[in-house]
Structure 1
Amino acid sequence: MPATLLREGGQAALVDALFDAAREWSVGLHFNKGLAGAPAAEIAAAKDTATNPQVLDAFALAIIAGGGAPAFPGMPAPDLLAARRDADGIDKAMAALRKIAPDAGAYVSESNYFRRDWQRAFWGTNYPRLLAAKRRYDPHGLFFVHHGVGSEGWSGDGFTPVS
């Protein structure tokens, strides 16, 4: 969540968005994930990392999430109707926050598995530099994870390079 929302002109919108989001799903604000207000030396050090530069001016990470037991063969099947209802509530809650922070980044370890703009959300302006390093040091894509740098070069199941 960008620190600009804490200024006089953004506070009412922040409160309204949090209220609207919380009506749809539980909202957690993690204040240990943003660097707004940090000492200059800490911000300078963070600029020299792969993290999305938006963290430098973020006051908190908003987490709106659901979860459940994994679905493996031989285990009870998940309740897909309930999962779809939960996903809808989560999407609506996130939409309320996106109204006030439409281009906010995301924390790669706690993000939407289906996020379409993951390169921008996770790494922002750092992505081209990270992709160049990935291509240089791992040209065959041996090391990858879902929505990791360079993973757009692989099929959804991770077994087939995409041309």
Structure 2
Amino acid sequence: MLSEKSESKFSNLNYKNYFISTKKSLLSKQKVWSLLRECFWSKNIPIEYVQRFINHSLCFGIYQTTNKKLVGFGRVITDYTTYAYVCDITVDPKHRNKGLGSTLVKTIMNYPELQGLKTWSLRTTSEAKKIYEKFGFKIAEHPDTQLEINDLEIYCHAAFVNLHKKYNL
């Protein structure tokens, strides 16, 4: 489990005019939701889901030093022993091309509680693949044995169900 010592060590990792923090007290579900709803993999994500995954993931926020505005986000789903799944890496378009995404991935990979893991994984686009390859990620050795259930429409279904519940339809 995440120790207070590790969290405080990374709570103010400075990079140019930004800092990266794992402190959940700095994260606003509204701001994370605003960043993620622009990403193809989380279109229409209900805001309630955002709070839930913040509660159950190791989250990293990129903030402007001057005003603590969230400009980037990423998280890790892990057992802290053997496996880490890196996901939801995103940077506000106004702050891209400054090395923030790469710095975020490097910070995640160097996080003390995640050292010594057997397997790291992630999903990415073909355009972003080169970024992750710099950190040692590669196409799975046996992709034909990896199975998944992936419903990109799930958020649309969830929003529909929530509307029905809200208005007793």
TM-score, L = length of structure 1: 0.34
Structure richer in strand, relative to its length? 2
**Whose radius of gyration is greater, 1 or 2?**
1
- Give TM-score scaled by structure 2 length: 0.33
Higher relative contact order (Cα pairs below 8 Å, separated by 6+ residues): 1
